[in-house]
Amino acid sequence: MSSTGIEEIVVRCGWLNKDPLYITYHDEEWGKPERDSFRLFEMLCLEGQQAGLSWITILKKRENYKKAFFKFNPQKISKMTSKDLSKLITNPNIVRHKGKIEAIINNSKCFLSMQENGEDFSNFIWSFVNHEPIVNNWKHHKEIPTQSSESVALSKALKMRGFKYVGSTITYAFMQACGLVNDHIVDCISRRN
């Protein structure tokens, strides 16, 4: 109830369910501009794990992924061996998909290769939106696309650098999550223009 005695209606994006973890993620993280290269790397890896699954599935396993992959430290991940891979494939706390697990290890090497070539990951990622978030004005979550010309371009550029599990739908979800694209519906309490 508000101070006027009238119950306030809180509007959030329609894709959200009532899980408190999901609500916190939506309200405090999704769509907020992230510019830290290591956090962007983490989110790109997690979005790749989502392929064919719901985001809440990955979100619930996020802490387990952090434990399994050294808090997404690319240096440490890049040193993982086939023995490590075998252990991860049997880890019930993450998605046990060999290709997806291999992608995280592969992508850590690609991330480091970019660094070695003087290419800042955050600057690279944000260059696809001219370093400013794209703010959309959707009235309903069903209007929101699953990819854009920017996500197609980002996907191609990442693949050229050797990244895996970075198709244009995955990169669009990544762009939404990291605030490169603001796809909160216009009435959402988490939307900031």
Q: Which CATH number belongs to the domain containing residue 87 in this structure?
A: 1.10.340.30
Q: Is residue 66 part of a domain?
A: yes
Enclosing domain of residue 177? 20-182
What's the pLDDT tens digit per position in 6-28? Answer: 667 889 999 999 999 999 999 99
Q: What is the pLDDT of residue 1?
A: 46
What's the pLDDT tens digit per position in 127-168? Answer: 999 999 999 999 999 999 999 999 999 999 999 999 999 999
Number of structural domains (the chain) is: 1
Q: Is residue 3 part of a domain?
A: no
Q: Is residue 8 part of a domain?
A: no
Contacts (Cβ under 8 Å, ≥6 apart) of 100: 48, 49, 51, 165
Mean pLDDT (the chain, rounded):
95
Partnered with residue 134 across adjacent β-strands are 181
What is the set of active-site residues? 25, 47, 55
What does pTM read for this prediction?
Answer: 0.94
What's the pLDDT tens digit per position in 77-106? Answer: 999 999 999 999 999 999 999 999 999 999
Listed residue (34, 32, 22, 26) closest to 192, CA to CA: 32
H and E: helices and strands count for the chain? 9, 2
Q: Is residue 191 part of a domain?
A: no
